[in-house]
Structure 1
Amino acid sequence: MRYISELIDEKKAVEKREGSVVLPGRDRTRKENRVNLIALGDVGGTVLMGLRLLGGDVISSIGIYDLNENVVKRYEMEINQICFPDVRSLPEVTALEPGSESLYDCDMLVFCATKGVPPVTTAASATAAGGAGHMDVRMIQLEANGELVSMYASEAVKRGFSGIFAVVSDPVDPLCAIALKAGLEPEQIQGYGLGVMNGRASYHARRHERFARYLSEGRAFGPHGEDLVIADSVTDYDDEISRELTELTVRANMEVRAGGFKPYIAPALSSGAISLVETLGGGWNYSSVYLGGAFLGCRNRRCRDGIEMEDLPLDDRLFRRIERAYENLKKLV
């Protein structure tokens, strides 16, 4: 049996625990966290809705920033009008002024900005030509979005930002690497793209008996693109079934695009809002963490000592799939 901790750079100090390994770092969360969100496009706006509805126990306020001031005004009004018919508290949404230093005065900065969203028709034609194997739309976004994340991460360093820099924009893992190059600390950065892949695998597992074990025994690893690794079970791994479920999970994105829609709702909520809230509350979630050579998506949680990453015994075939994905990620940036 192999362990995902074998991929961690040997120069990186870690603390091994039963079933997990801790990547040492500062405790960057509080009982009540101030969250600021960059960009209110389809994804950012949906993430904001999720944070407002789900974050009451761990988020005290949500600052919103977008280049379009009218969009900011609209979301400040509408999201603050979402409430329960009783006294339950929801995080207050506040508008951040363009160029405001307060953008970096928070416990978590959520990066949802994007320049290069592929047109629905382009991605749909890729599906018709053979699916994700012929075109991973996330790679189209890397160059443009990389410039954006570098700009915001560099400014965060300049202003002494000490919170969590959460990358939601695609492609998540390479963008995290760019944020690292900008000067942020490794355990300060997390990427949020794997949650929806767990959600898509679970979707198929609920509908097809051959994949049902995933719901109780399965795991997702790696980037949320072609090198995604879905394991039907970590205790009794079946390579054939796992690869079949992986293919269905990867293609789910393109299937939505083939219908003429941008597949942003599930990613914004499963990878975004839900995983962000779990991170702030110290709960287990799917997100990308830095292993020393690249950021890799896995099941982890924030703790007092840093980031605790699940580290279970893995079938050799499963480990080799994860290792291949990790090596490919190291080559991207």
Structure 2
Amino acid sequence: MKLFGNERVVLADDPATAERLGWTVRRRSAPAPEIVLAPVAGDPRREPWIAQGRVPPGGGAGILWKGHGRDWTYLREAPGVDRYLRALARPPRVRDFTVGISGLGRVGGLAASALSAAATAHTRIGTLLLHDCDAGNLERMVQELGSVASWRGNSPLPRVEAAGLPEMMRHCDAFLFAAASAVPPLGTPGDVRLPQFQPNRACLQGALDAANAEGYAGLFLMVSDPVEVLAQTAFHDSNAPGGAWLGTGLAPERLGGLALGVMWGRAMAEAAAVGQRERVARTGVPYGPHSAEVLVFDDPAAPDPALCEAMTRTARTGNYRVRDLGFLPYIGPALSSIVLTLPELLAGKEVLASSFVDGVYFGAPCRLRWGLSPTRRRIAPEVRGQLEDLHLLLRNRMSGLGIAF
């Protein structure tokens, strides 16, 4: 076996890709690399381009409970994989991350405010780059958050700076898209998330253009509604800008959605109300989208049907209850789904997020290895059936919207 690369990452028996990257043959006397990547044939429209433990497409939601090995692989046929191989070969960052937030409305503004007041030693965030289409609001937020400090505090807080989208794509380790073109007003009946799709899709295009132009290889995380649909859109529109597959855009495993945390928070409120908080906190899991289709289980291996139904109902209707009180529900999403999730994600810990599951972005417990990948659990047969049905429902929805390959 001939290896090409550096001290961290090598390619096995792939001289053509190595030549494109400018990677030379690795000396036999060199220390063992951290990651040995084997080239595999696959479908870059349906599976991660670089992965530890590959699961070929076609298994639906099965990745949530089936084993998928520990070997590292990459899809040689993915035209855009080179920039991600180069990024993977660089020394991994473990602190002083640069995080960009585009869209400083209710959710993005509150998340930026909370993260700016949290010690870098805790969040690992050294710099917050802020962007907003409203120049006045952007200047206001930079002024306000740049003035956050503690009396005689010894723990540094993140630096807060304004940045354009191209600058963000040059410097960010993680970019959060939190912009919203129009949030349905109070009194709007039914699900208010999906109607935001087309306006927010248009708003997203500028960030995708900047990411492609700058060769962005960091995390691209969706916060705006509908979260899973827009994550799918980011993958689709960056790789098929005219509708035809080019595969030169964002890698699916470096995209994700931050929204499932608030669903879990609402479900936990129900568990606490019936005296089950401590047990559910140990064994409970939510799955699916940030929508009225989310599923919550007190224990996916041995579910209590009545409790699961109650927790799921509370998670699904929490935003309606806040709206019925005359307020827009943004505090829980900002704090649970972003502020309490992002630092854990950057630290490599298990979090709740949406990742690429057989061609569809699907909310589940997951972890950042190189890309976002769901973590496997013991799941009862009846729960597996529900997850398979939900995965199929989301795939059909993405296909109907013209954003699934």
2:377 is matched with which residue: 294, 312, 323?
Answer: 312
Q: 1:250 to 1:24 in 2, by over 3 A?
A: farther
- In the alignment, does 2:292 pair up with 1:236? no
Tell me, in whole angstroms, the C-alpha distance in 2 between the residues paired with 1:29 and 1:288: 22
Distance, in Å, in 2 between the alignment partners of 1:140 and 1:11 is 28
- Aligned residues: CA RMSD: 2.5
1:19·1:310 contact (CA, 8 Å) conserved in 2? no
Aligned with 2:117: secondary structure? helix
1:77 is aligned to 2:143: yes
> Which 4+ residue blocks in structure 1 deviate beyond 3 angstroms?
9-14, 16-30, 210-213, 305-308
Question: In the alignment, which residue of structure 1 is the partner of 2:388?
Answer: 323
Distance 1:10 1:71 in 2: 39
Task: Indicate if the aligned counterparts of 1:283 and 1:301 stay in contact, CA closer than 8 A.
Answer: yes
Aligned residues between the structures:
311
Secondary structure of the residue aligned to 2:363 is: strand
State the partner residue of 1:151.
Answer: 206
CA distance, structure 2, for counterparts of residue 159 and residue 143 of structure 1: 25
CA–CA distance in 2 between the matches of 1:306 and 1:140?
29
- The TM-score, its normalising length taken from structure 2, stands at 0.71
Higher alpha-carbon deviation: 13-22 or 199-208: 13-22
For 1:19 and 1:278, the matched residues in 2 are separated by 24
Partner of 2:132: 66
1:41 to 87, 105, 111: 105
Report the Cα offset of residue 218 of structure 1: 0.5
User: Are the aligned partners of 1:60 and 1:91 in contact in 2 as well (CA < 8 Å)?
Assistant: yes
- Percent identity over the alignment is 27
Q: Hey, what's the Cα distance between the residues in 1 that align with 2:113 and 2:67? A: 32
Q: How does 1:215-234 map to 2 (within 5 A)?
A: 215-234=281-300
* 2:330 maps to 1:264: yes
Give the residue type in structure 2 aligned to 1:45: G
**Once the two structures are superposed, what CA deviation does each residue of 1:304-329 show, in whole Å capped at 9, x if it has no partner?**
x5434221111112112222221121
Q: Which letter does structure 1 place at the counterpart of 2:106?
A: D
Partner of 1:120: helix, strand, or coil? coil
Residue of structure 2 aligned with 1:95, choices 155, 162, 166: 162
Superposition deviation, residue 53 in structure 1:
2.8
CA distance in 2, matches of 1:154, 1:55: 33
User: Which is higher, the Rg of structure 1 or of structure 2?
Assistant: 2
**Number of the residue aligned with 1:176:** 231
User: Contact 2:166–2:210 (CA<8 Å) still a contact in 1?
Assistant: no
* AA in 2 matched with 1:156: A
Within the alignment, does 1:167 sit opposite 2:222 as a pair? yes
Instruction: Map residues 200-211 of structure 1 onto 2, 5 A cutoff.
Output: 200-209=266-275
Q: Is the 8 A contact 2:296 2:311 kept in 1?
A: yes
* Equivalent residue runs for 1:246-257 within 5 Å: 246-257=312-323
How far apart, CA to CA, are the structure 2 residues paired with 1:275 and 1:281?
Answer: 10
In the superposition, relative to structure 1, how do residues 260 and 61 fare at CA in structure 2: closer, same or farther (>3 Å)?
same
2:256·2:353 contact (CA, 8 Å) conserved in 1?
yes
Q: 2:53 aligns with which of 11, 15, 27?
A: 15
What is the DSSP-based 3-state SS (H/G/I as helix, E as strand, rest coil) of the residue aligned with 1:54? Answer: coil
Tell me how far 1:277 sits from its aligned partner: 1.5
Change in Cα spacing, 1:198 to 1:246, as seen in structure 2 (3 Å) is same
3-state secondary structure, aligned to 1:162: coil
Q: Give secondary structure in 1 for the equivalent of 2:181.
A: coil
* Greater relative CO, 1 or 2 (CA 8 Å, sep 6+): 1
Q: Please give the secondary structure, in 2, of the residue aligned with 1:113.
A: coil
Q: Alpha-carbon deviations, 1:247-268, whole Å to 9, x = none? A: 1111111000000000001101
Q: Which ranges of structure 1 fall in alignment gaps of 5 or more residues? A: 1-8, 127-134
Which sits farther off after the overlay, 185-194 or 12-21?
A: 12-21
Distance 1:60 1:24 in 2: 31
Aligned 1:109-128 pairs, distance under 5 A: 109-122=175-188, 126=189
CA change 1:239–1:275 in 2 (3 A) is same
Q: Does 1:284 align with 2:322?
A: no
Distance 1:93 1:211, change over 3 A: closer
In structure 2, the residue matched to 1:3 is: none
CA distance in 2: counterparts of 1:250 and 1:288, whole angstroms: 17
- The Cα of 1:288 is off from its aligned counterpart by 0.4
Instruction: Tell me by how many angstroms 1:150 deviates.
Output: 3.3
